[in-house]
Amino acid sequence: MRNLVYIFLGGGFGSIMRFLISNYTQKLWNINSFPMGTFIVNISGCFLIGILSAYFLKVDNSLKYLLITGLCGGYTTFSTFSAENFSLWQNGNYGILVLYALLSLIIGLLMVFMGFQIVRN
């Protein structure tokens, strides 16, 4: 139960961080229609989950639920997606890596399109 509370708290804080950083960055660097705020959040989230994952391989405790699952998950799920792809690469699962990455991108875009169309029509 304690781990669920950690995830809950970390997720809330991560979501607030995503909102603030994304909005501030987009206002600071408004480059045409490039979504700079989301880009910065995704890239910094990937860096953060890399640091935290490496640390918690050495030190296994329940703070990983607060910081990795909660904070990084609330901040950006792209960081989790990237960490999973990195793990597949490290384990030599190159076929699954390519399949997962491509399917996630293609089907993800398709689902956004379908959801948009359902509500729009």
Query: Is 73 marked as binding a ligand?
Result: yes
Query: Is 25 marked as binding a ligand?
Result: no
What pLDDT is stored for residue 96 in this prediction?
A: 93
What pLDDT is stored for residue 98 in this prediction?
A: 94
Sign of torsion, CA 120 105 50 59?
positive
pLDDT digits (tens, 9 = 90+) for 90-108: 999 999 999 999 998 998 8
Picking from 30, 33, 69, the residue whose alpha carbon sits closest to that of residue 52 is 69
pLDDT digits (tens, 9 = 90+) for 20-77: 998 898 888 877 767 788 888 989 988 999 999 889 988 889 999 999 999 999 998 7
Tokens for 1?
């139960």
What pLDDT is stored for residue 28 in this prediction?
A: 86
CA atoms within 13 A on the CB side of 1: 0
